[in-house]
A and B are shown apart, each in its own frame.
Chain A
């Protein structure tokens, strides 16, 4: 396959297509509905997407290494369940319960990390198994009933400064922090190196196993943080907390232009915009009065298109590196 001298239309679509889709979606819903384009609604959408963005940014580190963690939704559920049970039955204060929740997230991430980095189990199978196992454990502990948060903590998820909710600021801080970690710290550079070529990373003596392990731990931790934020927003932990969240997080990552083959992507731009696209579509459909059952379908189609763009990008890059044997 010859390398084209001028940027082709396909490449333009692959590189910039996502922004076009976001702008078009925003414009379409603004014109088609009355209340979509208002300060309150826009901040409301950002408010409700923040937990997803926080979860995605943790998972994105794993994806950067070319691996995957689909247990994040279950980790969010299991960790918050344990936190709420600790408050209800064992007299934990809100802060101690929060710390316990995060600790459970770290432990869950460490279990995945050990299996992948130490025992060399396929990350997909590992996290598929732990996804179901963690949720099973959580359902067993909670008897699959809804657990209310104590009165005192319930409102804290929706504190706002003017139109800006507190957790939006927190989420922004997390994303900027992770972007710094990814682009400016040795840890982030090793992540990218592993994603680009794990064999080469091993040969030059980078601590591949340790960094992969750490990325899974961080992914578990951020899943627990996201779970806590969701629970605070809802005021309760339901048996459905985090169900399907792994899919949404993956969608955010792919739509945000972070390659699932690893090594490529920008957290600062990709994660917030990827999450925004999904929430704006969902919110816009609600304003249009669409059938709630159709959201999954529309979301699925959007991620499918985003993945196709990713596949084109990977193919273009590979042909530039002349790695493909033309079939």
Chain B
């Protein structure tokens, strides 16, 4: 039995418009992959693809955290700074105690605590998300530089790096983590009530409030999750770099995270987006960075191109949705 179409909805045209951004994205990916294939035939070897995924995993994990915040209509600019502080404090804890187990615990705790600061400021004190996280970003990165004196902190316990750099079945732990968190985040956001509340809050906070959705708690949850993801990323990135430093939270990373989300179809106006889209966006941004490297584009021009890509995608999204 077929479902009768609702005559009040102009369904077909809307559908095409909805899928246009994804189509453009596919064309872009195809172009990039062709360029890669032309420049470097080895690109499509399994080993290299796993490498790219490993590179993308840091960005992907941060993008998952950012997706939740963007869906509520907010933004978290402090994620890279939070990640850097978590990594620095965790590494210091490991160095002073000599125990590998304490590092991840401290990193996750610091990430959560900083996420809680954002959560309280946005959800309870009703401050503007962008400015709150801009100021936490400044305070946190300032603290980070202050603690480390801009020197990177080394001396990780061997068992820490050994465990996190392992490759079970030839696939690095970082890639496993990215897949795992993508699945968890997608499940929570698509199938669980709090996840659906997230979209409700983003689409129309007033309607959500009238519908007895605990708006403040949902928003707080999104910022907490972003803080947690910053902590998770800190654990993996510290292992990969073999040290922790204030530079881990560079401003350019913030741009990459937002680029990944926007390219992956997460709306900056809230209410729209999927976690796997953001991860896909992260992979695309990583490939794009690699292509630009390969083509000899300087880092600075690369920034210009990424900035332009973000703005173009948001402009396109706005046109197609309205």
Contact = CB atoms under 8 A, between A and B. Distances in A.
Interface of A: 68, 115, 119-122, 124-126, 128-133, 135-137, 139-140, 144, 244, 247, 250, 254, 260-261, 291, 293-297, 299-301, 303-304, 307-308, 310-311, 314-315, 325, 327
B134 interface: yes
A7 B111 CA distance: 40
Contacts, number: 134
Given A133-B304, A247-B134, A297-B143, A124 B125 contact: no
Interface in B26-47: none
A294 B307 contact: no
Given A135-B303, A137-B300, A307-B131, 14 more contacts: A115-B311, A122-B318, A124-B268, A125-B310, A125-B314, A128-B254, A130-B307, A132-B303, A136-B301, A136-B302, A136-B304, A247-B138, A250-B134, A304-B121
Interface in B255-281: 255, 258, 262, 268-269
A137 B146 contact: no
Contacts of B192: none
A121 B307 contact: no
Nearest to A120: B318
Contact of A121 (B121, B206, B251, B314): B314
Interface of B: 75, 121, 125-128, 130-132, 134-136, 138-139, 141-143, 145-146, 149, 206, 209-210, 215-216, 251-252, 254-255, 258, 262, 268-269, 298-304, 306-308, 310-311, 314-315, 318-319, 322
Contact of A136 (B143, B268, B300): B300
A286 to B, nearest CB: 16
A98 B281 CA distance: 42
A244 B134 CA distance: 11
Nearest to B299: A136
3 closest Cβ pairs, A-B complex: A296-B142, A133-B307, A136-B303
Contacts of B141: 296
Contacts of B302: 136
15 contacts: A120-B318, A120-B319, A125-B268, A125-B311, A128-B254, A129-B306, A129-B311, A132-B255, A133-B308, A140-B301, A144-B300, A293-B142, A293-B149, A296-B145, A311-B127
B212 to A, nearest CB: 10
A126 B128 contact: no
B314 A260 contact: no
A122 B125 contact: no
B128 A261 contact: yes
B300 A140 contact: yes
A327 B298 CA distance: 51
B268 A294 contact: no
A125 B258 contact: yes
B262 A291 contact: no
A291 B128 contact: no
B145 A293 contact: yes
A307 B304 contact: no
Contacts of B315: 115, 119-121
A252 to B, nearest CB: 13
B304 A137 contact: yes
Nearest to B122: A311
